[in-house]
Structure 1
């Protein structure tokens, strides 16, 4: 999805006239907005497609959530929250507390379920675990609706704190079809016409090489966090910078830093023949 017409950026904008590929496409995307405010020309291309899952375990979890049988319900994304959104108001009224990994998920829950979040992390599972309380004796379990592809960081960390955890798959993510990728964007990427590319999830890092190929050396790749960076490197993608936090402003800063360097920070060094 190519960017809409926007007013010309200020010359002093740190990404003035830079072309950036954002590997997701969301309505009113906060990252795209921050990049454009920094002066960048942004193209958004969804490399993955998320699909809700339905199952007997998920149905049972929804019913138990509505009956107040969980001490906490913990969300790492709005898609996970969507899977149980209609159970949240009653669960909250029965004492179930709600935790979200980041502010965007917390806002989605407030907007769509009409309930506030009790605990919000700094944008990662690890950060949420740092501030999550330990259970009291006889505490009810914790519910984690999640992606079928999610790592066990959250459930494993909560179990280490002493919680009984029920993790239920609520959706899955798969690479987009090649025919659904904008041909102009794909061609511009392969030709090295993007100064930078932003990966906001490990699933995007998996999907990038088969759909578009490896980034040309002139395209600096920035990731939203360490898990995405690690996945990207395993896929053969040179990561120029990792955002210091999973926020739009941090991604802008990481891109500015990466583009100030002459080459990828972790590209293989050239050796004399």
Structure 2
């Protein structure tokens, strides 16, 4: 059976070791180039240090992680916190697996890959419950803390890392030239930070390059940058991204008016 993306040229705008999305795209027959448009940098602050100390002392009912980078910031404190009754939640399987592999503890609750889905399963607090800690990106939206507060939790959200655009000198010149020339049939954006970095680093995608995003927040950010989004994955999984690309590349192009920048 012919692979659904056989011969298609796809740009994946991130670089990760053994990337599950890149692997799924190649298994579907695509030729994949990976290019990191952003760089993540750990942050140090008195607030984060204090949160780690309270975590070690078991002062949080839960720690909620939206990415492995946020887990990395407090990984050394997790075994002790777990022994004192702190429970762990991860937005998706990748983050949960990182916690297990690097901290030696398992998540008590794992969502389907989005903050909104995790919130659907999160319990309400008991009377007098300890607060929740959310180590997170400095650029993260407030979906998780606001959703948990709406459930009745006291929440401490602490910036653990930030994401910046890659330097122009770090961009592969051949990939950049190919992108601008319309070489790629599709491009995959897996984070809002990538959507913001794409136009200044590579320019807007040519009309022949169909852009697929990992979800609605990334799609909304992309449109605000003037990027036409052909499709968004139905869930933040490699398989859903493959399906979205297949859909985008096999149906006629449709106009996708970008959102107004001041919206």
In structure 2, runs of 5+ residues without a counterpart are: 259-263
Match of 2:165 among 164, 167, 175: 175
1:51 partnered with 2:41? yes
C-alpha displacement of 1:263: 1.4
Q: Distance in 1 between matches of 2:42 and 2:199?
A: 25
Tell me the matched-pair count.
258
C-alpha displacement of 1:12: 0.3
Match of 2:85 among 95, 104, 113: 95
Change (3 A) 1:265 1:29: farther
C-alpha displacement of 1:262: 2.4
Q: Which residue of 2 aligns with 1:214?
A: 204
Q: Which residue of 1 aligns with 2:189?
A: 199
Q: Distance in 2 between matches of 1:267 and 1:12?
A: 33
Q: Distance in 2 between matches of 1:134 and 1:221?
A: 38
Q: Distance in 2 between matches of 1:263 and 1:190?
A: 19
Q: Which residue of 2 aligns with 1:78?
A: 68
Change (3 A) 1:202 1:104: same
1:28 partnered with 2:18? yes
1:68 partnered with 2:58? yes
Task: Please state whether the residue corresponding to 2:160 is helix, strand or coil.
Answer: strand
In structure 1, runs of 5+ residues without a counterpart are: 1-10, 269-273
Match of 2:113 among 118, 123, 137: 123
**After the TM superposition, which segments of 4 or more aligned residues of structure 1 sit over 6 Å from their partners?**
none
Q: Distance in 1 between matches of 2:152 and 2:163?
A: 30
Q: When the two structures are superposed, what TM-score results if normalisation uses the length of structure 1?
A: 0.93
Q: Distance in 2 between matches of 1:196 and 1:264?
A: 15
C-alpha displacement of 1:120: 0.2
Q: Distance in 1 between matches of 2:46 and 2:254?
A: 47
Aligned-CA RMSD value: 0.9
Q: Which residue of 1 aligns with 2:261?
A: none
Q: When the two structures are superposed, what TM-score results if normalisation uses the length of structure 2?
A: 0.97
Task: Please state whether the residue corresponding to 1:240 is helix, strand or coil.
Answer: strand
CA contact (8 A) 1:239 1:264 kept: no
